[in-house]
Structure 1
């Protein structure tokens, strides 16, 4: 376990809820349920001073810190460690779990995990902004096909 993961695990105890801010494919209840095996209540939220771009040749995005930018997304509440481990595996080695502060519709701010693209993987990001509505219209079916084929071993083992 990396030092960063140990620090994040220590911080989990200080968070009121184990929340996850999703800004990409995981905003879809279908996708988060496919990954974790559970349905979660989600709530709209925004992440300030971060920007979202499409990963080249894919149907999914990555986020990077960027002043005066805003990323819309959804916060899912009360995820357990098993779900987080499945999400870590889903996100893979190009992303790291970080703690961010997101703004809820009522103006309150809460801490949540988010998966940010690692610094050494930013080269995989395009200059194209990624939009959830466009993904739902044009990419969800392709993404689900990729997910099932790429992660078939998880289904075969019964992890999902």
Structure 2
């Protein structure tokens, strides 16, 4: 059997910290603002994911989604992701999540000034997308995760801007919570100066790239077999 071809580009649905362009582009390109190079820009469209519910992860700044009938999740549909982008995203999300293909419904915002998460209506268009589903339901709170609260109170721990975040880069200025009498990083290593972020900043090692490519080929092969 011939080896499957990997997609040239991927589309994804984001529902948490990656809805913030500052976080998204830091993960994709190690920059903390929207790229000035047009070739690096991604198309970002509001969307909803039916059949899932978003919850806060215990002791964390970020959310997770799990399948729950009768619920929908509002997020962003991002197109034009490269293989390197998706590899970075997989590293960023880590072992707490599994990447799955889902179908999202696109939205159109009523007022462009309100931004990507402003009031919107469904366009009637559906698109396949990759998204990251949380694996451990017991690690989730019943409470819904609030994107506006995240931007206002937590985003600073996820985006580095030069000297403004020098202390955070040094590992000393994270907002911490106590969990079982131990200091806990609420970014899960994904914030500025965290272990995962440092891997992305330093560049992914060849061994990880090769392992990831083999796993991605296997994933695509299994998906093609299910379709056929």
CA-to-partner distance for each residue in 1:117-146, whole Å, 9 max, x for gaps?
A: 11xx22211111002111111121133355
* TM-score in terms of structure 1 length: 0.83
Structure exhibiting the larger radius of gyration computed from Cα positions: 2
Query: Are 1:152 and 2:216 counterparts?
Result: no
Instruction: Answer yes or no: is the 8 Å Cα contact 1:29–1:40 preserved in 2.
Output: no
Alignment correspondent of 2:22: 30
Alignment correspondent of 2:215: none
Give the whole-Å Cα distance in 2 for the aligned partners of 1:32 and 1:132.
Answer: 14
User: Secondary structure at the residue paired with 1:127?
Assistant: coil
Alignment of 1:54-65 (within 5 A): 54-65=56-67
Instruction: Answer yes or no: is the 8 Å Cα contact 2:27–2:200 preserved in 1.
Output: no
Q: 5+ unaligned residues in a row in structure 1: which ranges?
A: 1-9
Query: Are 1:115 and 2:120 counterparts?
Result: no
Give the whole-Å Cα distance in 1 for the aligned partners of 2:6 and 2:130.
Answer: 9
* TM-score in terms of structure 2 length: 0.59
Alignment correspondent of 1:100: 102
User: Secondary structure at the residue paired with 2:141?
Assistant: strand
Alignment correspondent of 1:52: 54
Compared with structure 1, are the counterparts of its residues 11 and 116 closer, same or farther at alpha carbon in structure 2 (3 Å cutoff)?
A: farther
Structure 1 residue 152, shift from structure 2 partner: 2.1
User: Secondary structure at the residue paired with 1:19?
Assistant: strand
Indicate the larger mover: 131-140 or 65-74.
Answer: 131-140
Q: How many residues align?
A: 145
Q: 5+ unaligned residues in a row in structure 2: which ranges?
A: 30-39, 108-122, 160-167, 169-186, 205-228
Structure number with higher relative contact order (C-alpha < 8 Å, ≥ 6 residues apart):
1
Compared with structure 1, are the counterparts of its residues 41 and 57 closer, same or farther at alpha carbon in structure 2 (3 Å cutoff)?
A: same
- 4+ residue segments displaced more than 4 Å: 10-13
